[in-house]
Chains A and B, each alone.
Chain A
Amino acid sequence: DGGITQSPKYLFRKEGQNVTLSCEQNLNHDAMYWYRQDPGQGLRLIYYSQIVNDFQKGDIAEGYSVSREKKESFPLTVTSAQKNPTAFYLCASKNVREETQYFGPGTRLLVL
């Protein structure tokens, strides 16, 4: 059963704490993406990766970091430098030869 999984579904962050959101895909897709969704707004690109061990900043990369050590995995770390982290975070992947991105179920991050 191919797909994209994100965990956890809900995540709570304390002040000054770094948290990591997991994204795994078994679709054999080369490219992976992280988006942030805020109420009433479209999806904004945080980081993306077209190939293992390489990634690029999106429009709102400040306060976030990523790694791409394996093709299947693209974890996102929300650092303490991100002052407004409360949002719904979506991971997506696609085959580089196609246009359609496929999304995971999302992680909602809340600040305590």
Chain B
Amino acid sequence: DQQVKQNSPSLSVQEGRISILNCDYTNSMFDYFLWYKKYPAEGPTFLISISSIKDKNEDGRFTVFLNKSAKHLSLHIVPSQPGDSAVYFCAASGSDMRFGAGTRLTVKP
């Protein structure tokens, strides 16, 4: 029962361009959404979050957009840097937290 889906297992972008990572969810009871960044053999690190009462949250190069009617959120990274290359997990929180399968982002110099 995948309540949180990241349909793109990988994404490759050129340095300086925009990276857009997408996430869909099915449970309308989720009220808080998070993005985590993970390097190999390390734990995920918290990146940015958004409450369901908002539709946008920005932190430096990172912006998360939430479309509740479509049950869709996205993470925009502008401009993308080689150090952003990692696996990105989206997570949705309600009575518990559910994670997507992750998207591997590769930023090419």
Across the interface, which residues of B come within 8 angstroms of A4, CB to CB? 43
Q: Does A16 make an interface contact (CB < 8 A)?
A: no
Size category of the A interface is 20 to 34
Compute how far the CA of A108 lies from the CA of B42 in the bound complex, rounded to whole angstroms: 10
Within 8 A of B (CB), among A78-112: 88, 90, 92, 99-106, 108
Q: Does A2 make an interface contact (CB < 8 A)?
A: no
Contact A40 B101 (CB under 8 A): yes
Across the interface, which residues of A come within 8 angstroms of B101, CB to CB? 40-42
Give A104's nearest chain B residue, CB to CB: B43
Compute how far the CA of A45 lies from the CA of B1 in the bound complex, rounded to whole angstroms: 13
Contact A99 B93 (CB under 8 A): yes
Across the interface, which residues of A come within 8 angstroms of B11, CB to CB? none
Give B99's nearest chain A residue, CB to CB: A42
Contacts A99-B34, A99-B49 given: A42-B4 contact, CB under 8 Å?
Answer: yes
Contacts A42-B89, A99-B32, A100-B49 given: A106-B43 contact, CB under 8 Å?
Answer: yes
Q: Does A60 make an interface contact (CB < 8 A)?
A: no
Contacts A42-B99, A43-B99 given: A106-B42 contact, CB under 8 Å?
Answer: yes
Across the interface, which residues of B come within 8 angstroms of A104, CB to CB? 43
Contacts A42-B4, A42-B102 given: A106-B45 contact, CB under 8 Å?
Answer: no
Compute how far the CA of A43 lies from the CA of B43 in the bound complex, rounded to whole angstroms: 11
Q: Chain B 1-23 against A: per-residue CB contact (8 Å), 1 yes, 0 no?
A: 01010100100000000000000
- 10 tightest Cβ-Cβ pairs between the two chains A and B: A103-B43, A42-B99, A43-B99, A99-B32, A42-B101, A105-B43, A103-B44, A106-B43, A99-B93, A104-B43
